[in-house]
Structure formats: structure tokens, C-alpha cells
């Protein structure tokens, strides 16, 4: 069963997602199906998505839901834990990481407020496992004032991501930007309509090579 058909056929607790997110989830999350993944979702709502992730990842997955609303606690169950707190509270997040271990995947579907998204990312991203995926969804809010966003506004998470693209490439800026932990622990960033995914990993040294019998042809780095 794919995530998409699971979503369409769901007749249990409500799941609140945008259809085009599903191929994106499959693209970035499928590697962990059947593995002992630690999956955090910020934003529990009615608990349906946590059940969907449990079914998708299988019996070894640890699913952790984070929500500010106490009533979400009732959606806990086998393999699914829920902790109540504010996604922007680093003390609360440190307790979650302490209890459940560093996440392999973080999906931020919480308040969609720009300062909250940034605070969760700032704390959780460096604490993830080294090949983790951090995905923020509903970034339509990054263009909306009521969420602290706005086109080109510094506080917009999309705007922060544009700066992170430069951090990813810091080694090529001829000293204008310092490489940092983000540069050294991020393999790629993926932009979609309303979503951004970060793939962690240890980037290989940037050393262009030539292989093959046409290797003598003048090229970009000849
Ligand atoms: C869009 S809903 C989550 C939908 C759910 N993931 C799904 O797919 O069905 C957003 C949730 O974020 C929670 N939330 C709002 N502000 C929050 C905050 N500061 N910290 C943690 N959760 C928050 C809300 O209570 C709400 O349940």
C-alpha cells in the first residue's frame, strides 16, 4: 500500500495533507520503510497522520508526535508517542530528543509560524542522525504576513533557506562565507511547492575528476 492510497482510503482519524506532498514523502522517506526509524512529526492535530506513518514505516518505527495542545495526547498508542509542548521551546525539544533519541526524520507540520519553524529547525537539525531528512511543509505560510512571512522578508523560512543554499556552497565563495556545521552536514536541499527538504550526510571533498577515453577534451575544469 502506498502512502497516497492509504491517505485516500483512510476512514479512521483525520489526516490533513496536500495531495502533491505524497510523492515528495515517498521520494525522501522510502529508504526507512521497514527499518528502525525514529520519526518526529511536529503537529498532531487529530492523530491520523501519526497512524499513517506507523503503517508506512512498519513495526520497527518509533513515531513521535509533538503538539502544543494537551488534547492531542489521547492519540498515543502502540509505536506512537506524543509529547505536549511548544515546537519553539528548546528545553522541551531537548527533553524529547533525550527521551526518544535523535530523529532520522523530522516533518514540521506544526504552527507554520516562521519563528517557530526556525526555532525547531535550529535546535533539531544539528541533533538529527547523520543521514536524516528534515522536511518542512505548508511553506505557503512563508509568503503570508499573519504567519510572520512575506515575499523577501528576512523572517520568512523560505528566505532563510535561500541563505542556506549559499551555506551549502560556502566552500566556493572564495572566503566570503565561512563553512559551518550546516555546510559540513548537509548533502542537499530540495524545494517544492510549499515544502523544503534537507538531506543530511557527509559531503565528499569537491575534487572534479576525469575518467574515460574522452577525458582529454577541454571542459569546465580542463
Ligand atoms: C496542520 S495541524 C497538523 C496536521 C497533522 N500533522 C496531519 O497531517 O493531520 C497543526 C498542528 O500544530 C499544532 N501546533 C500549533 N502551534 C504549535 C506549537 N507552537 N508547537 C507545537 N504544535 C503546535 C496545532 O495544535 C495543530 O494540531
Average pLDDT, the chain: 95
Q: What are phi and psi of 99, to 5 degrees?
A: -75, -45
In this predicted structure, what is the pLDDT of residue 6?
Answer: 86
Ligand 1 site-directed mutation target among 4, 24, 25, 45, most atoms within 8 Å of CB: 45
Say yes or no to pLDDT of 100 above 90. yes
Domain ranges in the chain are 3-138+169-193
pLDDT tens per residue, range 127-142: 999 999 999 999 999 9
Q: Which residues are catalytic?
A: 112
Q: How far is the CA of 75 from the centre of ligand 1 (A)?
A: 13
Ligand 1 site-directed mutation target among 110, 112, 119, most atoms within 8 Å of CB: 110
In this predicted structure, what is the pLDDT of residue 216?
Answer: 65
In this predicted structure, what is the pLDDT of residue 2?
Answer: 84
- DSSP letter for each residue of the chain: --HHHHHHT--SS-----TTHHHHHHHHHGGGTTS--EEEEE--TTSHHHHHHHHHH-TT-EEEEEES-GGGGGG-BTTEEEEES-TT-HHHHHHHHHHH-S-SEEEE-S---HHHHHHHHHHHGGGS-TT-EEEE--GGGGG-GGGT--TT-TT-HHHHHHHHHHHHTGGGSTTSS---HHHHHEEEEEEETTEEEEEE--PPP------STTTTS--TT-
Ligand 1 site-directed mutation target among 7, 16, 22, 43, most atoms within 8 Å of CB: 43
Say yes or no to pLDDT of 197 above 80. yes
- DSSP letter for each residue of 121-175: HHHHGGGS-TT-EEEE--GGGGG-GGGT--TT-TT-HHHHHHHHHHHHTGGGSTT
CATH H-level, domain 3-138+169-193: superfamily? Vaccinia Virus protein VP39 (3.40.50.150)
pLDDT tens per residue, range 2-58: 899 989 999 988 888 899 999 999 999 999 999 999 999 999 999 999 999 999 999
Say yes or no to pLDDT of 187 above 80. yes
Q: How far apart are CA 129 and CA 164, in angstroms?
A: 19
Ligand 1 residue neighbourhood (C-beta within 6 Å): 15-17, 41-45, 48-49, 66-69, 86-88, 109-111, 116
In this predicted structure, what is the pLDDT of residue 222?
Answer: 61
Q: How far is the CA of 155 from the centre of ligand 1 (A)?
A: 20
How much of the chain exceeds pLDDT 70, in percent? 96
In this predicted structure, what is the pLDDT of residue 218?
Answer: 60
Q: How far apart are CA 149 and CA 156, in angstroms?
A: 5
Instruction: Specify the ligand 1 atom closest to the Cα of 110.
Output: 12
Q: How far is the CA of 198 from the centre of ligand 1 (A)?
A: 21
In this predicted structure, what is the pLDDT of residue 71?
Answer: 98
Decide: 184 and 125 in contact? Cβ < 8 Å. Answer: no
Q: Whose CA is nearest to atom 11 of ligand 1?
A: 43
13-22, 36-45, 71-80, 89-98, range with the lowest pLDDT: 13-22
Amino acid at each position: 500500500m502506498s502512502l497516497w492510497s492509504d491517505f485516500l482510503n483512510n476512514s479512521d482519524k483525520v489526516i490533513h495533507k496536500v495531495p502533491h506532498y505524497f510523492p515528495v514523502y515517498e521520494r525522501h522517506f522510502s529508504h526507512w520503510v521497514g527499518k528502525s526509524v525514529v520519526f518526529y512529526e511536529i503537529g498532531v492535530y487529530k492523530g491520523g497522520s501519526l497512524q499513517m506513518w506507523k503503517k508506512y514505516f512498519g513495526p520497527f518505527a518509533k513515531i513521535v508526535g509533538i503538539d502544543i495542545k494537551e488534547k492531542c495526547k489521547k492519540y498515543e498508542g502502540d509505536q506512537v508517542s506524543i509529547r505536549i509542548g511548544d515546537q519553539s521551546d528548546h528545553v522541551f525539544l531537548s527533553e524529547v530528543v533525550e527521551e526518544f533519541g535523535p530523529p532520522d526524520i523530522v516533518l514540521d507540520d506544526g504552527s507554520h509560524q516562521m519563528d517557530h519553524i526556525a526555532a525547531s529547525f535550529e535546535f533539531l537539525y544539528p541533533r538529527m542522525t547523520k543521514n536524516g531528512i528534515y522536511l518542512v511543509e505548508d511553506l505557503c505560510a512563508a509568503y503570508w504576513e499573519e504567519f510572520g512571512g512575506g515575499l523577501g522578508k528576512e523572517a520568512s523560512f523560505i528566505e532563510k533557506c535561500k541563505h542556506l543554499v549559499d551555506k551549502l556552497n560556502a566552500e566556493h565563495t572564495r572566503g566570503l562565507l565561512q563553512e559551518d556545521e550546516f555546510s559540513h552536514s548537509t548533502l542537499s536541499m530540495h524545494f517544492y511547492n510549499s515544502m523544503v527538504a534537507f538531506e543530511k550526510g557527509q559531503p565528499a571533498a569537491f575534487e572534479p575528476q576525469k575518467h574515460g577515453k574522452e577525458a582529454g577534451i577541454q571542459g569546465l575544469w580542463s
